[in-house]
A and B are shown apart, each in its own frame.
Chain A
Amino acid sequence: MLMISPKMASGAQDKQYTPSLLSFFIYNPTFGPREGEEEKKILFYHPSEIEKNEKIRNVGLCEAIVQFTRTFCPTKPAKSLHTQKNRQFFFEPEENFWIVMVVRNPMIEKPNKDGKPPTIEYQEEELLDTVYGAVVRQCYSMYKLFNGTFGRVMESGGVELLIQKLEKFFYRYLQTLHLQSCDLLDVFGGISFFPLDKMTYLKIQSFVNRVEESLSLIKYTAFLYNDQLIWSGLEQDDMKILYKYLTTSLFPRHSEPELAGRDSPLRPEVTGNLLHYGRFLTGPANLKDPEAKFRFPKIFVSAEDGYEELHLIVYKAMSAAACFMISANVELTREFCEQLDGLVGPQLTLLASDICEQFTINRRISGPEKEPQFKFIYFNHMNLAEKSTIHMRKTASVCLTSVHPDLMKILGDINCDFARVDEDEEIIVKAMTDYWVVGKKSDQRELYVILNQKNANLIEVNEEVKRLCATQFNNIFFLD
């Protein structure tokens, strides 16, 4: 159980517990239709140590809920179940395959006198369905990125293989879910784009073209700087989940040694190559190592005829990262990797310093950094572009936001309100804490602003947001 700082309440001993993962399971009701065979329905169950009958009971409840809601609409079954203690989220990504995530509501534990057990108060209205529904869908997308669909695995190796794959993937993946810090950004699942001037952008484009031409094996390329995307040859939905993987899992895992500096013992042996800073984040850690393995993670992306399987090569120099994707049918050799390293390494190093320079200039032009009167989140449904000045940095383990969680939830509420009707809308609300929160939806774009001017009135708030739109959003539309 995760515990946050004790609240300064009456007794100063109330303990507040954040939402946590109670269980996560995947089942297919058609796999054990007869009585006594229910266990066969269960393909994955976390935590695995739960007793068999308990698992069967919980799966049974989900089946019953889904069946029950079909009484009222056969095509749109249940998505979530709210109970006093927890919420369950249902997702059927492929026919008859159900993923269920059970999240415990946040709660407050109040100690009782006289040695009585503490009173537990569940906060039932704190979790947003949209946020956690998105988290479940993300789980599936991430699984699918590395394993392909459930159906495909069933075809190639039957239920046994599927169970194996699910076990292998989710055992680790579930540990990286940090349910207490999920918010509106998970609903969008957007991509943060790096703002860039045209010249530098063209330089990157020509770099990508050159590499793809010289190394014809490369099917797709993606280019990122500072964890933000600049160029991608992948389909949007594939890039979305790959981006999520890169920024929340792969990059954070490799960032610590880099930050540690060149002479730190933490830094992996850099093989005396002083010409460039390039290195593989996937595949061989050291090309010079005679034992080096040239195995890369495989990913599945959409293709005209279903899915194609690809090697994922991630190569990084300073803050610039390039992803190269090559058909999985090709075997990748030491020669190929050396060739790639020799070609990409120096160019990427150069590009990285170019971008860095450009970035610093731009920053200087835009004036000295001062604490603005507002914070915002922007999302564009068309290109998945997202920008947040609320989130400090999203890493694998923590997501730091600079505003109160309640305000984040109000943003989530406004987002739900926008989803009610498909038309342009604007919503301005004043919270009990006197913060103003503004949501705007126009065409496919959504903007959420939190204003810190507590004494402002509606008209002043309106002016402030107008000003923000005028100044902040000139260079964000660069990819539109």
Chain B
Amino acid sequence: MEEDHHRDREAQAVNISDPPAENNPPADTLATSLCLLGNHMFPDSVAANACSGVNRSEPASLQPSDVTAEDPGPEAEPPSNLGTESETPDCQNNLPAHSAGRGTEDAGVENDQSDSGEFVVTMLAKAKLEEQGIGVKGRSSPLLEAGIQESPPFTSHRDEDVTADSWRRHRKHVFVLSEAGKPIYSRYGSEEALSSTMGVMMALVSFVQSGDNIIRSVYSEGHTVVFLQKGPLVLVCVSSSRQSEQQLREELLYVYHQIISMLTQASISRIFEHKKNYDLRRLLAGSEKILDGLLNLVDSDPSFLLAAVHCLPLASSLRDSLSQILQKAITPNLVFSILVAKNQLLTIVQEKTVIEDARLAPADVHLLLNLIGASSAFQAGEIWTPICLPLFNPDCYFYAYISYLDPPECTVCLLLLSTDKEAFYAVAECKRKIEEAMLAQNSLSLIAKAQSYSVSQVGVSDLRHFMYKPFDVPDNHRQLTQFTSPEMEAPYGSDEEKMRLLDLYRYMHSRIHSTSRPLKLIYHVAERETLLAWVTSKFELYTCFSPLVTKTCAITAITKLLRWIKKEEDRLFIRYPPKYSTTPNPSKSSRSSRSEQQDTTDNGFLSLL
């Protein structure tokens, strides 16, 4: 099996170096073509057939005939693309043939199966692209560079010596393993080298479990170890960051959700139901970078802590015009149109019926933004990839169209989510409309001028930094939770000092939101700064002052700050998120399947449709 896997990768690499451009008219780049190949390789029926009639002995000959026979669609892949087709056996390996046991009528299941297969293709494609140095500029995408000053040039943490002191000294380790104790992911060091450590983790989990109890955490003087069990996965964090257990568990949950966003919860449980000691790394191959990127973001970006989205400050007229552009470029089954610049939200437009009963959770947006940022492959043209929004519905895929609007800078990114996996061309057409409209209104250059603001603009001396999360937004319960925060400036200019301030905020946050002893206000005077955290029914506020500020001054400053935010709120936040109405095709919409699920008591995947 392992060999197969390698062979697939090689085969793919070969394919990449020899682009099959001529057969994919709309796909103007390599990445797109690969992704398209992936998607159209395994329509439902093919996957069902391929998996039920397992015949791994002759993968090369089996596949082309299957495709031509079963997929008469206009985008059927020409058999000449042998390279990618050799992905198919991989799909078969990855997705044990459930259909054998369940019967092929289980359409929902099959659908998901093929979906995870597709994703692997996408991911592998990206990994390969990056390994080949195609469209790769170092590890971090321009998004990341602009957003969060992270990243010295990419050095692989996978090769680290796990017995070395430097490995132990990492601020935060994260491990993901299966219930059978099989390594799935480690932030630092290779999973192989850590397999015994992870085995111990699993042994601890199951030992405590055998006493009808659940392990939560272990504390030592310098470290906090937090365990989180989600379905068949066990996630462990070993942190010396002094964050609270709850915060660390939230972060593990982000990691879990990012995995779900690639594979869906249903398919993970199904895989492990079928084969307890399955090696999930096969399915996640190439996606370590996404998890690495997520963990770096979690450490450096307060959005995750606040569970809120950071919008790029923008004149409300400009934001409105962008929203209108998105609102006009629609197609059936399109549900979310999202415009992002410098890793911050510009605007988000939702389909009406979707917004009626659900709003996009900030965590889902974070995962999307991380996905875009984590891989520079997305900069290369258009991407069409299945993606699950775990908080919206953990068991089902959306199809994401991702494209940068300002190559080669690649700072403005358009994200269109559809429920229809066949809608690539229709959605690509939306992008073309959006691009045209933006060109006509000169939007790109206006966006380029937009930037985050300095705390000095507030005009309050002694105030060094703040984070403000409003609750009194119009229509709040239907809105994406947002927050605003100025740039971190001196004395928080260096990476170290930035992290220190964030750690202080994290500490205030953990105390004020303690599950057992929440507080309304914290005023903390220390030698280097004075901090104030305040939670009311209208907002949540964290401020940082110079250490010598008096309490009277701090109170005055906060009054001024709140007034300033009120004045600027149209610029700082998306105030009235626009909606549009496409003509949803209920049979294909994610939402409809979701509501069906809610009706059934079946908590897993889509039951028989």
A82 lies within 8 A of B222 (CB): no
A86-B213, A432-B519 known; A68+B218 contact, CB < 8 A: yes
A462 to B550, CA, bound (A): 10
Report which of A76, A409, A429 forms a contact with B220, defined as CB distance below 8 A: A76
> Measured between C-beta atoms, what is the minimum distance from B230 to chain A in Å?
15
Q: A80 in the interface, Cβ–Cβ < 8 Å?
A: yes
Interface membership of B576, Cβ < 8 A: no
Residues of A within 8 A of B242 (CB): 420
| Proximity bits, A406-426, B CB within 8 Å = 1, else 0 | 100110010001001101111
User: Interface readout for B518-552 with A: 1 if CB under 8 Å, 0 if not?
Assistant: 11111111110000000000000000000000011
Across the interface, which residues of B come within 8 angstroms of A421, CB to CB? 526
- Asked if residues A125 and B555 are in contact (CB atoms below 8 Å), the reply is no
On whether the beta carbons of B555 and A431 are closer than 8 Å, the reply is no
Check A410 against B523 for contact (C-beta < 8 Å). Answer: no
Contact status B517-A68, CB under 8 Å: no
Among listed B85-93, B201-209, B467-475, B590-598, interface-contacting one: B201-209
Cβ-based interface call for A239 (8 A): no
Whether B238 lies near A72 (C-beta < 8 A) is: yes
Q: Is B425 an interface residue (CB 8 A)?
A: no
Q: Is B519 in contact with A429, judged by CB distance below 8 angstroms?
A: yes
Query: At the interface, yes or no: A382 with Cβ under 8 Å from chain B?
Result: no
Give chain B residues whose Cβ lies under 8 Å from the Cβ of A457.
Answer: 555
**A-side contacts of B518, CB under 8 Å:** 432
What mask results when residues 116 to 131 of chain B are scored 1 for a CB within 8 Å of chain A, else 0? Answer: 0000000000000000
Quick check: is B563 within 8 A (CB to CB) of the other chain?
A: no
Tell me the total A-B contact number using a CB cutoff of 8 A.
134
Check: B21 CB closer than 8 A to any chain A CB: no
Q: Which residue of A lies closest to B168 (CB)?
A: A72
Alpha-carbon distance between A129 and B224 when the two chains are bound, in angstroms: 12
**Residue pair A427, B208 in contact (C-beta under 8 Å):** no
Give the CA-CA distance A457 to B516 in the complex, in Å: 24
8 Å CB contact of A83 from B208, B238, B517, B552: B208
Contact indicator B218/A82 (Cβ below 8 Å): yes
Which residues of A are found within 8 Å of B522, using beta-carbon distances? 427-429
Task: Decide if A431 touches B517 in the complex (CB within 8 Å).
Answer: yes
Q: Which of B193-252 contact A (CB under 8 A)?
A: 197, 200-201, 203-204, 207-208, 213-223, 225, 238, 242, 245
Cα distance A426–B551 in the bound complex, in angstroms: 12
Give Cα A417–Cα B517 distance, bound, in whole angstroms: 15
Q: Does A85 contact B (CB under 8 A)?
A: yes
A82 touches B519 (CB 8 A): no
**Which chain B residues numbered 128 to 143 have a C-beta less than 8 Å away from chain A?**
none
Which A428-475 residues have C-beta < 8 A from chain B? 428-432, 434, 457-459, 462
C-alpha gap A102/B204 in the complex (Å): 17
CA distance A129 to B203 in the complex (A): 24
Q: A71-B197, A425-B525, A429-B523 are in contact. Are A125 and B516 (CB under 8 A)?
A: yes
Q: How far is the CA of A125 from the CA of B216 in the complex (A)?
A: 11
Q: How far is the CA of A72 from the CA of B527 in the complex (A)?
A: 31
Alpha-carbon separation in the docked complex, A434 to B214 (Å):
35
- Bound-state CA distance A73–B218 (Å) is 13
Asked if B359 lies at the interface with its beta carbon under 8 angstroms from chain A, I say: no
Q: How far is the CA of A425 from the CA of B526 in the complex (A)?
A: 5
- Among the listed B208, B219, B525, B555, which residue makes an inter-chain contact with A80, where contact means beta carbons less than 8 Å apart? B219
Does B515 make an interface contact (CB < 8 A)?
A: yes
Q: Which residue of B lies closest to A409 (CB)?
A: B517
Contact A61 B208, beta carbon cutoff 8 Å: yes
Inside 8 A of B524's CB, which chain A residues have their CB?
Answer: 417, 425-428
Q: Which residues of B contact A413 (CB under 8 A)?
A: 511, 514, 517
Could you tell me if B214 and A83 are in contact, using CB atoms closer than 8 angstroms? yes
> Is A432 a contact of B520 with CB atoms below 8 Å?
yes
CB-contact partner of A78 in B219, B514, B515, B555, under 8 A: B219
Complex CA gap A409/B242 in Å reads 19
- Give the docked Cα–Cα distance between A384 and B168 (Å): 36
Tell me, rounded to whole Å, the shortest Cβ–Cβ distance linking B244 to chain A.
10
B507 contacts the other chain (CB 8 A): yes
B276 adjacent to chain A (CB < 8 Å):
no
Known: A64-B207, A409-B517, A417-B511. A82 touches B200 (CB 8 A): no
Q: Assuming the A-B contacts A73-B220, A417-B507, are A430 and B214 also in contact, with contact meaning beta carbons closer than 8 angstroms in the complex?
A: no
Q: Are B516 and A126 in contact (CB under 8 A)?
A: yes
Across-interface contacts of A84 in B (CB, < 8 A):
213-214, 216
Q: Which residue of B lies closest to A70 (CB)?
A: B220
B282 within 8 A of A: no
1/0 per position for A172-183, CB-CB distance to B under 8 A? 000000000000
Contact B220 A423 (CB under 8 A): no
A39-83 residues at the B interface, CB under 8 angstroms: 61, 64-65, 67-69, 71-73, 76-83
B173 at interface (Cβ–Cβ under 8 A)?
Answer: yes
> Which A residues lie within 8 Å of B223 (CB)?
69, 72-73, 76
Give complex CA distance A126, B222 in Å: 22
A79 to B218, CA, bound (A): 8
- Cα A180 to Cα B496 with chains together (Å): 42
Known contacts A65-B204, A81-B215, A431 near B221 by CB under 8 Å: no
Q: What's the least CB distance linking A117 to chain B, in Å?
A: 14
Interface pair A76/B213, CB less than 8 Å apart: no
B552 to chain A, nearest CB (A): 6
B residues less than 8 Å from A428 (CB atoms): 521-524
For A406, the closest partner residue in chain B by CB is B517
CA distance A73 to B221 in the complex (A): 9
Q: How far is the CA of A434 from the CA of B519 in the complex (A)?
A: 9
Min distance, Cβ B223 to any Cβ of chain A, angstroms: 5
List chain B residues, Cβ under 8 A from A81: 215, 217-219
- A186 lies within 8 A of chain B by Cβ: no
A424:B551 contact, CB within 8 angstroms: no
**B210 to chain A: closest residue by CB:** A57
A123 beta carbon closer than 8 Å to chain B: yes
Tell me the minimal C-beta distance from A458 to chain B in angstroms. 5
Task: State A457–B201 Cα separation when bound (angstroms).
Answer: 48
| CB <8 Å contact, A458 and B555 | yes
Cα distance, A423 to B214, chains bound together (Å): 37
Check if A426 sits within 8 Å of B218, measured CB to CB.
no
Cβ-defined partner of B551 (8 Å) among A64, A123, A432, A458:
A458
The reply to whether B526 and A79 contact each other, CB–CB distance below 8 Å, is no
Report B161 CB to chain A, min CB distance, Å: 13
A341 at the interface (CB under 8 A from B): no
A212 within 8 A of B: no
Known: A77-B220, A123-B516. A83 touches B207 (CB 8 A): no
What residue in chain A is nearest B200 (Cβ atoms)?
A68
Expressed in whole angstroms, the minimum distance between the Cβ of A374 and any Cβ of chain B is 17
Per a CB cutoff under 8 Å, which of A82, A129, A409 touches B216?
A: A82
A 70-127 contacts with B by CB, 8 A = 71-73, 76-86, 123-126
Chain B, residue nearest A77 (CB): B220
Contact of B519 among A69, A79, A423, A430 (CB under 8 A): A430
A71→B218 CA distance, assembly (Å): 13
Query: How distant is the Cα of A272 from the Cα of B217 in the complex, in angstroms?
Result: 63
Q: Within 8 Å CB of B222, what residues of A? A: 72-73, 76
- B551 neighbours in A (Cβ, 8 Å): 458-459, 462
Q: B190 to chain A: closest CB distance in Å? A: 16
Let me know if B216 and A124 touch, CB within 8 A: yes
**Assuming the A-B contacts A126-B516, A427-B523, are A69 and B225 also in contact, with contact meaning beta carbons closer than 8 angstroms in the complex?**
yes
Contacts of B516 in A (CB 8 A): 123, 125-126, 409
Enumerate chain B residues within 8 angstroms of A423, measured Cβ to Cβ: 526-527
B552 contact set on A, CB distance < 8 A: 459
A17 to chain B, nearest CB (A): 16
**A-B residue pairs in contact (CB < 8 Å), sample of 18:** A64-B207, A68-B218, A72-B168, A73-B168, A73-B221, A77-B220, A78-B218, A82-B217, A82-B245, A84-B214, A84-B216, A125-B515, A423-B527, A427-B525, A429-B521, A431-B520, A432-B518, A434-B520
Other A-B contacts than A409-B516, A431-B519, A458-B551, 6 sampled, CB-CB below 8 A, are: A69-B225, A81-B219, A410-B517, A425-B527, A427-B523, A458-B523
Chain A to chain B: the 9 pairs with minimum beta-carbon distance, closest first: A125-B516, A84-B214, A76-B221, A426-B525, A430-B521, A428-B523, A82-B216, A430-B520, A423-B527
